[in-house]
Amino acid sequence: MRVLIAIGCDAYDNPPLQPLAGAENDAATIFGHLVTKNWGEYDQAQSKLLLSPTMAALRSTIEVAFFSGPPIEELTLFFAGHGGVKDNTYFLCLKDTDVGRMSLNALSMTQLFAWITEAKIRHTNLIVDACHAGGVVHDIGVLLNPNVIGKAGSLAISILAAAGSDEYAGESGGVGHCTSALMSCLKGVTPVQTTRPSLDLVEVGQVVSRTMQGTGQSPVCWGINLFGISQLAKNPGFSGAAHISATFPDLASDGAGNEHIRAASDSIWEQYLSLTREFDAERFLEVIQAVCAKLEKEPAVAAAFVMGLAATFGARIAATCDHFDVARLRSACAVALLPMAVSSTHCADAIVQLSEEVVASISEGTDQLLADFTEGTYGLLSKDGGIADFYFLPLRLMSILGWLGAAVHIQTISGASTAVIAPKAADLVRRIMAHYSNSIVPVSDEMTPFYVSFAAAADVLGCEEELESISGLLLKFLHQRAGRIADSGLSGEDALRFLTAVTEGRYDDFRNILANPTSLLPAVLLVMDRSGLTDIADGAMKGFDHININIFVPNDFRTFGAGLIEDGTNFSLNIGHTVFSVSDLLAEWSKIEEHLSADEILASPAVRISSVLSSLLRPDRVAWFLVAGQQSAGPDSSPETTQAEGGHPKLGETAVCPCDAGSSYLTS
């Protein structure tokens, strides 16, 4: 059952609380839209509109709604009126509130959360259009204790507060400013999203916050939902005619799978709270994969679980303005569902929907980076700078290129148009090459999946020339270092050791941190062949004598996102022993292509998409199927001509700096 309690308080008995003119109007507007017009599918009998109620009247209403009727699946509580913080607790002020005795005749958030917990309400949407409403966060500590709400009920609450804790909430013409912006979203005047039949309060709150920027009132949006996306209202921007419940129809509040979610609530909360510091995509993926593994018999619950996390975690990360981190978060949610992508339409649909949101985040991140380039060319350097950028800047650059490629692959695999993302992505690639080409240096084998992702998308992006330049740079430096490259996932200390090895040429002293075998070298050789640069690649082969190369293909791509892929085939080769030329490598590669083309599981778009995302989140594996099937440029392409036009470096040339700042790059 879905219940709405809308409270508007204009009349106040006790000073200094002054009468208001728009609170009751706001409550009536929300109630009229969500209940009587059926835009929220809230129960008309149990839902209540309270106009300037006393504390006793509110308490009575809560008692009946929470504890005397059927169990509440979704509660939306709207309040418009006076509010404030006292003794580090936020209070909603009612008609008979006395500010000197607020604990007796005002509703504290602590009390409200306790009622919600005791009633075991699965989802709660809390909307507060009142002064200092951001002070609601003072009481979030009540929710952080899993003994209070995590295991007794559900960790599922979304909050929209109309103003910061030090701000006033304004009204004009008998309407609250925040409620007006909220109603604009609920009516479809301000678009939110078009992919789901329901609107989530967190995503609506994000839009409300953006539309109210510069007004002197900064709405605060917060939430975490472990049991699916909250369903505040129908989505007027959704083209279908589905009911709200159609989002995840098989999700049951008392399902056995919910216990697995509750059991993991501590570690999930830990991840949520850490977002104020950083987002560790691999650690987050480990946490939710463990939960999803226990939900394989309840795939609808698993899909709802990750979709809820994607919405609420994504909103929290978005506050840091790192859109690529939002893309990683949504990618991790998609990858967690990969084992069920073939067996469950719920999970497959969720993966596709999440991937659309990944593309949107990459698009926003691309816009931000392009804007940064207009302000200056050094925005991709780390804030601390220093020698670390000699190792981590090349990784950062290749990561960006890989995610741009992923956006293209997602659109292509899902049958969507690349007309929006491709031009801006190509613009960003060219700006990176214009200002940072000297930092396209092979430093770690974890660059491979990003390089492959970009290389496979280069033709769609119209960046064939840039790909040739990037491949030439990678080959040149690999040749200078006789194919030696750092292993994946080095610590900062080991990264410094690798730079020392490069500078002093003492590779034998650092064998334990070198990639052996390497996946980057075969990737570069294969891509150069497909770019018509086979002669250049062949000319470098002698410099890679005795280097071990490897191409790994899993037996089942549904396991491709696992921390450790237990079953698969390593196609390991030794240059100068089993492989002497690029043509020898191609002969071995043709066997791998045949193996990949026969893989029926890869026919699933959800599997292909989440496998690409897996390789970017866990860069110790490569989505080689992106390269399989691509045609070689053939003998008609002239390597000499391409080199002259594309500006490929000659083997043996040295790069200059980590960007165009003019400092000297480390060379062997």
Has residue 304 got a pLDDT over 70? yes
Q: Which of 118-122, 280-284, 301-305 has the highest mean pLDDT?
A: 280-284
Rounded alpha-carbon distances, angstroms, from residue 154 to 90, 95, 258, 264: 22, 31, 9, 12
Encode pLDDT of 522-540 as tens digits. Answer: 999 999 999 999 999 999 9
Residue 667 — pLDDT band, cuts 50, 70, 90?
A: very low
Q: In the prediction, which pLDDT does 123 show?
A: 84
Give the whole-number percent of the chain exceeding pLDDT 90.
Answer: 55
The amino acid occupying position 193 is Q
Task: Say which range, 12-16, 268-272, 333-337, 341-345, has the weakest mean pLDDT.
Answer: 268-272
Residue 305 — pLDDT band, cuts 50, 70, 90?
A: confident
Residue 250 — pLDDT band, cuts 50, 70, 90?
A: very low
Q: In the prediction, which pLDDT does 163 show?
A: 84
Q: In the prediction, which pLDDT does 604 show?
A: 96
Has residue 266 got a pLDDT over 90? no
Mean pLDDT for the stretch of residues 595-615: 95
Residue 643 — pLDDT band, cuts 50, 70, 90?
A: very low
Which is higher by pLDDT, 138 or 593? Answer: 593
Residue 341 — pLDDT band, cuts 50, 70, 90?
A: very high
Q: In the prediction, which pLDDT does 241 show?
A: 55
Residue 64 — pLDDT band, cuts 50, 70, 90?
A: very high
Has residue 237 got a pLDDT over 70? yes
Of all helices (H) and strands (E), which one includes residue 209? helix 201-211
Using CA atoms, how far apart are residues 339 and 626, in angstroms rounded to an integer? 20
Centroid of chain to Cα 181: 26
Q: In the prediction, which pLDDT does 662 show?
A: 34
Q: What is the dihedral of CA 521, 523, 524, 529, to 10 degrees?
A: 130
Has residue 433 got a pLDDT over 60? yes
Least Cα distance to 476 among 395, 417, 399, 539 occurs for 539
Has residue 557 got a pLDDT over 80? yes
- Average pLDDT in the chain: 85
Q: In the prediction, which pLDDT does 632 show?
A: 61
Q: In the prediction, which pLDDT does 638 show?
A: 40
Residue 668 — pLDDT band, cuts 50, 70, 90?
A: very low
Encode pLDDT of 152-171 as tens digits. Answer: 344 578 889 888 777 788 88
Has residue 521 got a pLDDT over 80? yes
State how beta strands 2-8 and 74-80 pair. parallel
Q: In the prediction, which pLDDT does 263 show?
A: 78
Using CA atoms, how far apart are residues 382 and 397, in angstroms rounded to an integer? 12
Q: Exposure of 465 by Cβ count < 10 A (0-12 exposed, 13-18 middle, 19+ buried)?
A: middle
Encode pLDDT of 44-57 as tens digits. Answer: 999 999 999 999 99
Has residue 664 got a pLDDT over 50? no
Q: In the prediction, which pLDDT does 48 show?
A: 96
Has residue 607 got a pLDDT over 50? yes
Q: In the prediction, which pLDDT does 658 show?
A: 40
What pTM did the predictor assign?
Answer: 0.80
Task: Say which range, 126-130, 267-271, 414-418, 420-424, has the weakest mean pLDDT.
Answer: 267-271
Centroid of chain to Cα 159: 20
Listed in sequence order, the residues at least 6 apart from 488 whose beta carbon sits closer than 8 Å to its beta carbon are 444, 445, 446, 515, 619, 620
Least Cα distance to 436 among 663, 180, 200 occurs for 663
Give the whole-number percent of the chain exceeding pLDDT 70.
Answer: 87
Q: Which residues pair with 7 in a beta bridge?
A: 50, 79
Q: In the prediction, which pLDDT does 483 show?
A: 92
Using CA atoms, how far apart are residues 60 and 7, in angstroms rounded to an integer? 13
Encode pLDDT of 455-513 as tens digits. Answer: 999 999 999 999 999 999 999 999 999 999 999 988 888 888 888 888 888 888 888 89
Q: In the prediction, which pLDDT does 140 show?
A: 55
Encode pLDDT of 66-90 as tens digits. Answer: 998 888 888 999 999 998 888 878 8
Encode pLDDT of 310-337 as tens digits. Answer: 888 887 787 777 899 999 999 999 999 9
